Amino acid sequence: MATVFHGLGAAMGLTASNSFDCKKLLLPSRRSFLERKASLLLVRSDGSGNLNVGSNSRARRAEQLITNAVATKADNSAPSTASKSGHELLLFEALREGLEEEMERDPTVCVMGEDVGHYGGSYKVTKGLATKYGDLRVLDTPIAENSFTGMGIGAAMTGLRPVVEGMNMGFLLLAFNQISNNCGMLHYTSGGQFKIPIVIRGPGGVGRQLGAEHSQRLESYFQSIPGIQMVACSTPYNAKGLMKAAIRSENPVILFEHVLLYNLKERIPDEEYICNLEEAEMVRPGEHVTILTYSRMRYHVMQAAKTLVNKGYDPEVIDIRSLKPFDLYTIGNSVKKTHRVLIVEECMRTGGIGASLTAAITENFHDYLDAAIVCLSSQDVPTPYAGTLEEWTVVQPAQIVTAVEQLCQ
């Protein structure tokens, strides 16, 4: 194994012209099933159309609250890109652009996974990278998640910065031993001799009738592993920024991407930027209730927010983005302002991100709450294949509206 990665490190400068042809070595893949179900609607991540919230409410900015209960920090949130020049990208293209920029900047960055090479990945995040960087920096692997995840961890130990793609997040359960016992713990168990700068990423969440095994939400599985950071992207802007930050991190990072968000379009800056891996995003300031959410549920919340504004409510919406650790600074200041909390997630209710977030808020900000925390989560059932039943298992905007009305009574 060491010989393989010494060779891989030496070959970082290879181009497509002097790399071997791996097309002859490709094995049958699972991509055909995913392709049939991957037709997505094109919507804009700024909430235009039916996701737009009234501009008068959006303009109200609450003063930043800083108390002894939360650590102070500088305001380094990403500026709005609405009025700046830039270029429009779909979310999967933003992920690719961030990955390509890091591969160009750092020759130790490499990619491995099923069909990530000449096929370009199951959702085309790595399209064109094998041609540009060669078959050793963009490594097609057999269908063996435990093997290539472990190989990526070994590569990180030797000084590379691998990005491991799971064709579907549910498949990474096969690599749970490598992620938990190796990826998360080796820095500690080696007494700090090894760093594991690896990114594990891929599509997950409830899609369009992908069935139970392809609709996994693994945030709850991985959140208890010591040494692992977890982030979830929700817009093209933060997808690129989080990808770049995760690759540069010295810690192992799991980047969750939602299968239904790949075709979101947004204008992002031409200039280089990165997002803070441990910082939440204030999506909509408000006064009456704090709504904490992430990933796809951000758009269900914003759709509900339009109805809530029309009913006279002023919800504050926060995309937590960092699933581990939580940004208790941003969350805490919001709780101290609104005194009510609604958590909306697609994760399972039992042992999910919402349960951990509820515990963290209760422990740190209980005295600021005027009502019990409400958490809307997916039902604890395998995701049905039937479309109507699938919708019933996840939180819908109407449920969010009802929950806020009850909270604010």
CATH number of the domain within which 165 lies: 3.40.50.970
| Same-domain check for residues 119 and 214 | yes
- pLDDT classification of 84: cutoffs 50, 70, 90: low
Rounded to whole angstroms, the Cα distance separating 13 from 36 reads 36
| Same-domain check for residues 296 and 399 | yes
In CATH, what number is assigned to the domain containing residue 323? 3.40.50.920
pLDDT tens readout for residues 314-338: 999 999 999 999 999 999 999 999 9
219 is catalytic: no
> Among 354, 110, 385, 122, which residue's Cα sits nearest to residue 219?
354
pLDDT of residue 6: 41
Ranges 54-58, 293-297, 395-399: which has the least confidence:
54-58
- pLDDT classification of 211: cutoffs 50, 70, 90: confident
The one catalytic residue among 97, 102, 187, 214? 214
Q: Does position 55 have pLDDT exceeding 70, yes or no? A: no
Secondary structure element (H or E) that encloses residue 199, with its range: strand 199-204
Q: Does position 357 have pLDDT exceeding 70, yes or no? A: yes
| Same-domain check for residues 210 and 316 | no
| Same-domain check for residues 332 and 192 | no
Within-domain flag for 15: no
Beta bridge partners of residue 87, listed in sequence order: 268
| Same-domain check for residues 96 and 238 | yes
Count of domains forming the chain: 2
| Same-domain check for residues 129 and 157 | yes
| Same-domain check for residues 73 and 156 | no
Percent of the chain scoring above 90 in pLDDT: 71
> Considering 238, 268, 298, which residue would you say is the last residue of a domain?
268
Within-domain flag for 64: yes
Neighbours of 396 (CB within 10 A): 13
Q: Does position 83 have pLDDT exceeding 60, yes or no? A: no
> Considering 241, 268, 295, which residue would you say is the last residue of a domain?
268
Q: 97: Cβ–Cβ under 8 A, 6 or more apart, which residues?
A: 89, 240
Helix 328-338 crosses helix 353-365 at what angle (to 10 degrees)?
A: 70
> Are 108 and 157 in contact, with CB atoms under 8 Å apart?
no
pLDDT tens readout for residues 267-302: 999 999 999 999 999 999 999 999 999 999 999 999
Q: 186: Cβ–Cβ under 8 A, 6 or more apart, which residues?
A: 153, 157, 194, 196
| Same-domain check for residues 375 and 239 | no
Rounded to whole angstroms, the Cα distance separating 376 from 32 reads 34
pLDDT of residue 38: 39
Within-domain flag for 185: yes
Rounded to whole angstroms, the Cα distance separating 124 from 115 reads 10
pLDDT of residue 213: 85
pLDDT tens readout for residues 129-170: 999 999 999 999 999 999 999 999 999 999 999 999 999 888
Rounded to whole angstroms, the Cα distance separating 38 from 31 reads 10
274 class by beta-carbon count within 10 Å (0-12 exposed, 13-18 middle, 19+ buried): middle
Within-domain flag for 4: no
pLDDT of residue 23: 34
What DSSP assignment string belongs to 282-303? EEE--SSEEEEE-TTHHHHHHH
The one catalytic residue among 114, 145, 257, 281? 145
pLDDT of residue 343: 98
| Same-domain check for residues 130 and 91 | yes
Rounded to whole angstroms, the Cα distance separating 169 from 216 reads 7
> Considering 249, 268, 287, which residue would you say is the last residue of a domain?
268
377 class by beta-carbon count within 10 Å (0-12 exposed, 13-18 middle, 19+ buried): buried
145 is catalytic: yes
Work out the average pLDDT over 96-124.
95
> Which stretch, 56-60, 79-83, 403-407, has highest mean pLDDT?
403-407
Which residues constitute the domain of residue 181? 85-268
| Same-domain check for residues 56 and 108 | no
| Same-domain check for residues 91 and 134 | yes
Work out the average pLDDT over 21-25.
35
pLDDT of residue 209: 87
| Same-domain check for residues 251 and 107 | yes
- Range 89-114 burial, b when 16+ CB lie within 10 A, else e: bbbbbbbbbbbbbbbeeeebbbbbbb
